[in-house]
A and B are shown apart, each in its own frame.
Chain A
Amino acid sequence: MASTREDVAHLLRRAGFGGSVVEIDRYTALGYEGAVDELLDLRSPDPGADAIPAPTFHTEEIIAGRGSGDEAAGRNAAKLASDDRRALVRWWIERMAATQRPLQEKLTFLWHDHFATSMDKVDFAEAMWGQNQTMRRLGAGRFDTLVSAVARDIAMLLWLDGHNNTAAAPNENFARELLELFTLGHGGTAHGGHTHGQPYTEADIRDAARASTGWVIDRAQRVARLEPQRHDGGTKTVLGETGPLGIDDIVRLATSHPACAPHVTARLYSRLARPVGPDDAVVKKLAAPFADDLDTTALLRRIFLHPDFRADATRVALVKTPLEYIIGTIRALGVSNVDEGVGRLLRDLGQVPFYPPNVAGWPENEAWLSTQTAMVRVNAAEALARRLTVPSVREASPSERPDAARHLLGVARWSDTTARALADASGDPVRMLTIALISPDYLLA
């Protein structure tokens, strides 16, 4: 039976980015259910995140420089664009490291992973920032409201060619991913190997693409708007409904489809608890009320309070993603000055915010356990261990250091093998901490 402190440490790792000793103590004092409520309360003050200034973007200068035909202006535009992209990534990393509402940043990241949009193609950092703000603002509310906003988000229009989707030449990119990834699921083989029917047809995709034609980007206002002469106003049939459907109809039909709640629940449960498919018994139970209200906060509360979330098997079912690993370590060690070196570590580990590998988002578990990530983690652990500011490990006597590191990193217990290596390393606090950070025990989320 895990102690409340261990349960809370598990909750903080999954619902946030792990906790410092102080944070784990604070949430533990509230009891487990109190800790869940506290995490889900997004009205609490967040001076940590508020202290990170939003980047200044140079969108108009970039567009003007690129369009000028002048070589020097073009070079300057490229530099500004690159600066903007870097500043945006750094801003979010700093915010995740500093926030006192960790669930909000984690949830924003989970939606970024779900509606995975890459700055590689979108190009404009300001558009990515806008999408990020939308996901933070709407992420804990109703899922259909979020999808509706994402469907007319500027970055999404650029990412899945929505701004090129016209009545004369429909482009299916957005419509396909809306149904396949964002709402209904592919219906193919999922975790557990169970095959079930695809909830939509190719005809649904073609007509959903027609229904979402005509959206263009209004640069001056920084919004998308429907241009009627580019929109296909004809009759379409999507998911069983026929009529002159538009984008909101498609969002309504997709988010109210019986496959939607299990698909979205399974996605969140896979990231927060353990890898599952939509047919998992726990997912089915959690998805039933979500299908009625589409209330993400209520879904999250039910996930965290479900006994399966704290089951022994769930505790060892996820590997920390690179982001969880790096942000969690920064928070635990009290690393100040989150610089671009942190961004480089994330790049080498394969998970830079705003740059998902594709529209399906980042992979999980085994994918992070390649020899490649093992190699980078040694580098990352060594670099971060050197920047330890929390005094406990350094000030402890060598024999007490392994336990001090366990406490610091919120690890329930060291395995015998890890304990042996830590004892061997305990003479040098930085080297011992490096070993702790690359231990198989710490790699589990």
Chain B
Amino acid sequence: MPSLPAPPPFSRREFLAGAGGVGAAMFLSGCTDGGGTATPPATSTPATSTPATSTPATAGATRPTGSDGVLVLVTLYGGNDALNTVVPIADPLYRQLRGSMAIDPNAALAIDDRFALHPSLVRTKQLWDTKQLAIVHGVGFDGLDRSHFHCMDVWQAGRTDELRTGWVGRWLDQVGSSPLDALGIGGGLPLLLRGARRSAAVVQPDTFALPGGPQLRSLVETLVAADATRPPLAAMAADTSRDLLSVIDAVGPLLNSPAAGSLSATTPGSPSPNYSANPLTAQLAAVAKIMASDLPTRIYSVGMDGFDTHTDQLATHAQLLTQLDAAVGEFFDAVGDADVTVAIYSEFGRRVQPNNSGTDHGAGGTVLLAGNVRAGHHGDPPLLDRLAEGDLTHTTDFRSVFGGLAESVLGVSSADLFGPQYRPLF
């Protein structure tokens, strides 16, 4: 198997040259290197958006079969400050433009001579060191308008023309055979999980059982039996209740059992995990429990709020990233070497120049992929001297990232979910 010489993560010359030729060649090499099934789409459909270049730092963990993994999508709601998450610490423009909101270079966790992780991302740094972390730079889409709702809807829909279904929902429409194929953990039903014909079930991470005993259960079964005469929304209500009954039967006993791995924290004398303080930990603990069973779930959706740091950014962002980092770290402790990829994304990044004590809505997101991934840097970091109206520009369309995950983790066609114009990354 040919192995690529490990290039320095990036150079601006490579960005310019790589956009068309070198990047594509690396991309193809990368695929054979991985031995996966992630075949790029036919070259007859040229990439109309920015081509996704892939520059694996080293041959990291690779997937043996490439299509039977588990995908955990972690949504950071509010617009995570990408620039202070993976920090271009060596770029003098960073300090100059970010001013008082710049991360202290002495505290940042350097991963190479150009980038450092936010000081809160201690466990994430360990994942980098063990080749279990991929960083995709400059991820966004054309027409980003800085609206939380519109931008998050676009990311979750995976398209800009129609925002009524999510891409995981459409995956369910295509391949779904069981209400357990995709699960939301905690909260309500995000657009991501909403399909035209079916939506993912949402389970709560702590306890999950039907009240009222067997008598009520049998009446509910009669009540929600299939009935073609119902109007569409009533039919959907009945379908959802039937799904609920089957999900309760399958998942309830798992969630009501003690946790696996370190997430259990049941060692006598050790403090029990404070789930209310870190809701993401509770959600990922539930994912780990379900993964340990033989249920067929392939996609999990979890999320965290609070990233809209218009004010008091330094302290708030540090606290949020600490929670994220701890939850993800504990999750990998619990699942061991399972074939799982965790994808962490947000609707947009923040404006490069701060306001008083925070940052306004910006662009240029960074996606973090952890677990079974092609470790290293991917995509081209936006240039701080080429801002567009004060914002970072994106260099990789987010559908190239999700499309890459669809092909390499789920083994389904990126083009079917996102259209042929987005070349899947990895």
Contact = CB atoms under 8 A, between A and B. Distances in A.
Given A363-B188, A415-B229, A440-B224, A374 B241 contact: yes
B107 interface: no
Interface stretch (A125-133, A220-228, A416-424): A416-424
A164 interface: yes
A371 B243 contact: yes
Interface in B149-193: 149-150, 160-164, 179, 184, 187-189
Interface residues of B, number: 60
B6 interface: no
A202 B216 CA distance: 55
Interface in B304-328: 310-311
Contacts of A371: 179, 201-203, 240, 243-244, 247
A441 interface: yes
Contact of B234 (A193, A195, A316, A431): A316
A176 interface: yes
A372 interface: yes
Nearest to B247: A371
A172 interface: yes
A319 B233 contact: yes
A415 B235 CA distance: 11
Given A316-B231, A370-B188, A418-B223, A375 B146 contact: no
Given A164-B311, A198-B145, A370-B188, A441 B356 contact: no
A169 B241 contact: no
Given A171-B310, A415-B227, A440-B224, A369 B148 contact: no
Given A188-B150, A189-B162, A431-B216, A171 B227 contact: no
Contact of B210 (A173, A186, A198, A378): A378
B222 A424 contact: yes
A198 B231 CA distance: 34
Contacts of A415: 227, 229-230, 234
B215 interface: yes
Contact of A374 (B147, B148, B240): B240
A379 interface: yes
A316 B225 CA distance: 19
Interface in A135-184: 161, 164, 166, 169-173, 176, 180
B244 A375 contact: yes
A170 B355 contact: yes
B413 interface: no
Interface string A355-389: 00111100101110111111100110010000000
A438 B223 contact: yes
A350 interface: yes
Contacts of A169: 355-356
A161 B310 contact: yes
Contacts of B395: none
A378 B212 contact: yes
A417 B225 contact: yes
A317 interface: yes
A382 B212 contact: yes
A372 B188 contact: yes
Contacts of A76: none
Nearest to A436: B223
B254 to A, nearest CB: 15
A272 interface: no
A426 to B, nearest CB: 11
Contacts of A421: 219-220, 222-223
A61 B203 CA distance: 40
B11 to A, nearest CB: 32
Contacts of B212: 378, 382, 431, 434
Contacts of A440: 223-224, 230, 234-235, 237-238, 241
Interface in A430-445: 431, 434-435, 438-441, 443-444
B236 A382 contact: no
A199 B360 CA distance: 21
B337 interface: no
A122 interface: no
B316 to A, nearest CB: 12
B211 interface: yes
A359 B78 CA distance: 11
A370 B148 CA distance: 23
Nearest to A443: B237
Interface string B321-363: 0000000000000000000000000000000000111001100
B204 interface: yes
Report the 4 A-B pairs with minimum CB-CB distance, sorted nearest first.
Answer: A440-B234, A421-B223, A316-B231, A370-B189
13 contacts: A161-B310, A164-B310, A170-B355, A171-B355, A172-B360, A367-B194, A370-B201, A374-B240, A415-B229, A415-B234, A417-B227, A425-B219, A444-B234
Given A358-B149, A379-B211, 11 more contacts: A170-B355, A188-B145, A189-B160, A366-B199, A367-B189, A378-B212, A382-B212, A415-B229, A435-B223, A440-B224, A440-B235
